[in-house]
Amino acid sequence: MDRIVVIFLLMFSGLFLCRGDGLAAAQKAPVQLALLKIDKSYEKKTVIKKSTIPNAGNGLFAAIKIKKGEVIGELGGRLVTADAMPKDTHYLAGIPECAWEKAAPYRYIDSKDYGAHVSRINFAPQKINGIDTHFQNAAIKQLCQHPYFIFIALRDIEPGEEIWSSYGPHYDYERFMRAPAVRNFFCALAKIDCRQKYDYKS
């Protein structure tokens, strides 16, 4: 498989008490993780720190000036088969169908724990109440070959600027975007009155 590295994490054997028979050693089988190899040199362009969006956790910020059209980073992560999807799908990306043959048997990338810096890019709405916000300064680009997903700068991004993108049309934004603190933040930033009406476009 193209540039996929398999990392073995060895679980240490533990000691347990068994019905008064004393301590016995119990060995566990190694846990095998298939990780997508990415170009980590892109990590120098960005830094992860607390997002400016209320209750959004960490976000991604430019460490240097990133020019329009430049690659911000590659989306790494744990490769997942179709029958082993994690319960938390917020960090799950479906590998493009055109890459299935090369990526087989994997169909998804779980970027929660091994996703590189770009996995911490937060969402910002493209429009609020039909008005362009110009918030999104990055976009996801799908590829038919490794590494399958990259983030591209939509415009020049200055050092210290938070990087925002859309996650695509199938992501569930509602719970996050309907939170009063998040709504008020984006409406105030866009200088849009949302007291009577509030809708958004991803």
pLDDT at 195 over 80: yes
Amino acid identity for residue 84 in this structure:
A
Burial letters for 158-174: b for 16+ Cβ neighbours within 10 Å, e otherwise?
Answer: eeeebbbbbeeeeeeee
Q: Are 77 and 35 in contact (CB under 8 A)?
A: yes
How high is the mean pLDDT of the chain?
85
User: Quick check: bond before 159 cis, omega within 30?
Assistant: no
pLDDT at 78 over 70: yes
Q: Could you tell me if residue 15 is left (phi over 0), alpha (psi between -120 and 50 degrees) or otherwise beta?
A: beta
pLDDT at 23 over 80: no
Query: Bigger pLDDT: 57 or 85?
Result: 57
pLDDT at 13 over 60: no
| pLDDT given at position 26 | 43
| pLDDT given at position 2 | 43
Instruction: For tokens 């169909």, name the residue.
Output: 107
The whole-number average pLDDT for the span 122-139 is: 97
The whole-number average pLDDT for the span 95-109 is: 95
pLDDT at 20 over 80: no
Angle, CA 172 vertex, CA 45 and CA 125 arms, to 5°: 55
**Using 50, 70 and 90 to split pLDDT, how confident is the model at 28?**
low
Of 45-54, 75-84, 87-96, 178-187, the one with minimum mean pLDDT is 87-96
pLDDT digits over 131-186, tens only? 999 999 999 999 999 999 999 999 999 999 999 999 988 888 999 999 999 999 99
Tell me the two tokens of residue 72: 């911000």
Q: Could you tell me if residue 92 is left (phi over 0), alpha (psi between -120 and 50 degrees) or otherwise beta?
A: beta
pLDDT at 9 over 70: no
- Name 139's Cβ contacts closer than 8 Å, sequence gap at least 6: 151, 152, 154, 165, 166
pLDDT at 11 over 50: no
pLDDT at 29 over 90: no
pLDDT at 99 over 90: yes
pTM of the model: 0.80
Q: Please report the beta strands in the chain, taking only residues with DSSP state E, as ranges in sequence order.
A: 4-9, 14-17, 23-26, 31-36, 46-50, 58-62, 71-74, 77-81, 92-94, 106-110, 122-123, 127-128, 131-132, 138-142, 149-153, 164-165, 200-201
Domains of the chain, earliest start first: 4-120+141-165 (2.170.270.10)
| pLDDT given at position 7 | 31
Angle, CA 150 vertex, CA 132 and CA 178 arms, to 5°: 40
Instruction: For tokens 């329009």, name the residue.
Output: 68
